[in-house]
Chains A and B, each alone.
Chain A
Amino acid sequence: MTTTEQATGTPPIAEGRAHTALVTPQSDAAALHGVKRRVSLLDRPYALAGPLILVMAIFFVGPLILTIIVSFWEYTQYSIEPAMVVTNYVDVFDRCIARLPTLCVTFATYLSTLKFCFIVWAITLILGFTLAWFIVFEVKKTSTQIALFLLCTIPFWTSNVIRMMAWIPLLGRNGLVNQTLMSMGLISEPQEWLLYSDFAVILAFIHLYTMFMMVPIVNSMMRIDREILEAARDAGASIWTIAMSVVAPLCRPGIVIGSIFVITIVMGDYITVGVMGGQQIASVGKTIQVQMQYLQFPIAAANAVVLLGAVLMIIFAMTKLVDVRREL
């Protein structure tokens, strides 16, 4: 019985809007001055952010700190010892500087990953921008806009790996593409570069991640007043000028966010490079994964920290450099 009494004593939030809201003990003092005030959760913004802070602390900040700690530990083939040594980092860059201009394994791996990263970023940016333009400015009806947008999300109903696998029967030696091209007489023998190649990796990345670029750009573009484009047209600007000096600068937040998504995903990827590259192409993520498989956690952690640093540097440089506003 006591519990029910207590329950009825606490006003539901919706009721609190009425002027006759019940006075909680905390606001007794206020009530004395003739002001009735109800303390709600909304008066404590940190309480609302609490659950997210907790989740982030447990699943993001904690593991990150652990990774950094482990990266300083010692390991041998059969043991891992807590320590405070920088051997792992030295090993990551083993004789890398000394042997320049010959690239050490780490530098070569980073170069390959950065190459994928740049190509994929450039292509997804162009695709994302033009697709966003189409949906936002060319499609006039809001219902059609939403329908097209949802259509873009359908591929996300299946997993990344399955979407990658779907390319294999298409691009393989006896795949659909090769067969079609051969039956059309365009090629005389199957093309080997279609699958298990840089081309295949880049294709899969673009297929998987263009949406991550497009969605934030759509979001920025939606905020642009159509009259601004008309004003630019009225001034005599061509579609290219409008895109480069009006729309792109105004989409800058979306472009930066989309780029961060794509760059972080591609830099850390090992599955796409593995599946589409036929396990033959090196990537930083793949190096870390292999070291994890051999239970060499400290060196894997050191590699992860270096990768994190590299990605953060790219993003920092990008937010500083990719200022598409050109001085007039």
Chain B
Amino acid sequence: MHEAELELIGVAKRYGDTVAVRGVDLKIPAGAYCCLLGPSGCGKTTTLRMIAGHEVASAGDVVLGGRNVTGLPPAERGTAMMFQSYALFPHMSVVDNVAFALRVRGLKKRQRREEAMQRLELVEMTKYAIRRPAELSGGQQQRVALARALVTNPKVLLLDEPLSALDPALRLRMRAELKRLQHELGITFIHVTHSQDEALALSDLVVLMKDGHIEQSGTAREVFDTPKTAFVARFIGAHNVLTEAGRELSLRADKLDLVAPGAGRRTATVTSVEYQGHYVLVRLSGEDDLSAMVDETAMRAFPVHEGDTVGLAWDDGDVVPLGKPEADEGLKAA
């Protein structure tokens, strides 16, 4: 049952003096959709590449289904990678691209074509089988890249920023499709992204990274509702970081109420009011720079304008105390 469980134990990567990844400990259950989330340069892509075997870990172990794969070449790990640029072979037709891994494994032409066509069917690309990659749109190329990665029946599919090259509408569609595919195949997906929307929408497990370590990992709801550090609260978006009595707290922007000055716990000045459709984003400056997502009814009841002084109110139950990143807790435990 735990066949494809992936475990990273103290995995690190150094390039000379620079440390890209500093000791990542992570367990990804079989069949999970896991997103490695973080700003650029946080080590998420390097981590993915170490799982894939395109980068050799400087320290630590990568264990896949109970087997230590740290020193194995990419094709012997049971993983497959989908590259950010899709990396399709420009001189081969779509079906030959998908069949490449089977050709390398010495399968007969008929058999590998059959298998390749099956994978193309999975991504609805059969009618483009004889085209060259250059004759396809970005979205179509991505589907081909996906089919190609799946042709060897990997236990873990690694996706490096798979949606970043697509336009917003297509991105949403492909996002849903990735989730459907993962559900259908029941294999582990590890998806690198810098978009918190993508991570929240897709993940069973969100792993938020910063400066080469894990800041917080958990379900999307856990990470969103109870951010562990100020960085997580800010990165995941729609959160405020308050300082109260020298301690940092996080408060969701939609749980911050605007009231008459003097009626709230603090006062602040409105610096901007942005209409966003189903809510209004009000930016405030006071002790901390805050923002409030005010819904339409509340806005109608208590309209605010730029330059107004307002009171701020919130429930004690909605604030989350912030602390140290997960990586540090691990160090303490060890």
Residue numbers of A with Cβ under 8 A of B are: 225, 227-228, 230-238, 241, 246, 249-250, 325, 328
Contact = CB atoms under 8 A, between A and B. Distances in A.
Interface string B75-87: 1100011011101
Interface in B60-114: 73-76, 80-81, 83-85, 87-92, 96, 99-101, 103-105, 109
A230 B99 contact: no
B152 A249 contact: no
A235 B87 contact: no
A232 B84 CA distance: 15
A246 B52 CA distance: 20
Given A225-B85, A227-B84, A328-B109, A235 B90 contact: no
B87 A227 contact: yes
A283 B126 CA distance: 56
B96 A227 contact: no
Given A234-B52, A328-B96, A328-B99, A225 B87 contact: yes
9 contacts: A230-B74, A231-B81, A232-B89, A233-B73, A234-B74, A234-B80, A234-B149, A236-B76, A328-B99
B94 to A, nearest CB: 12
Nearest to A233: B74
A233 B91 contact: no
A237 to B, nearest CB: 5
Contacts of A250: 90-91
Contacts of A328: 92, 96, 99, 103, 109
Return the 7 tightest CB-CB contacts between A and B, nearest first: A236-B75, A235-B101, A227-B87, A231-B87, A227-B83, A249-B91, A328-B96
B109 A234 contact: no
A24 B196 CA distance: 57
B91 A235 contact: no
Contacts of B99: 328
Contacts of A238: 104
Nearest to B52: A234
B104 A235 contact: yes
Nearest to B93: A328
A230 B74 CA distance: 9
Nearest to B74: A234
Interface of B: 52, 54, 73-76, 80-81, 83-85, 87-92, 96, 99-101, 103-105, 109, 148-149, 152
Nearest to B90: A250
Contacts of A249: 91
A235 B148 CA distance: 9
Contacts of B109: 328
A146 B81 CA distance: 32
B220 to A, nearest CB: 28
A233 B52 CA distance: 11
Given A227-B84, A227-B85, A328-B109, A232 B90 contact: no
Contacts of B81: 230-231, 234
B54 A241 contact: no
A225 B152 CA distance: 23
Nearest to B92: A328
A238 B73 CA distance: 10
Nearest to B91: A249
Of residues A230, A232, A236, A249, which shows the largest number of chain B Cβ atoms within 10 Å of its Cβ?
A236
Given A234-B52, A235-B75, A236-B75, A228 B87 contact: yes
A87 B75 CA distance: 67
B54 A228 contact: no
A180 to B, nearest CB: 41
B83 A231 contact: yes
A241 B104 contact: yes
Given A246-B89, A250-B91, A328-B109, A236 B101 contact: yes
A249 B93 CA distance: 13
Of residues A230, A246, A250, which shows the largest number of chain B Cβ atoms within 10 Å of its Cβ?
A230
A95 B152 CA distance: 64
B85 A235 contact: no
Contacts of A325: 91
A138 to B, nearest CB: 16
A325 B90 CA distance: 12
A227 B148 CA distance: 14
B331 to A, nearest CB: 33
Contacts of A236: 73-76, 101, 104-105, 152
Nearest to B81: A234
B13 to A, nearest CB: 15
A230 B87 contact: yes
A235 B152 contact: yes
A234 B54 contact: yes
Nearest to B109: A328
A231 B81 CA distance: 7
B243 to A, nearest CB: 44
A232 B73 CA distance: 12
A225 B90 CA distance: 10
A250 B87 CA distance: 13
Contacts of B85: 225, 227
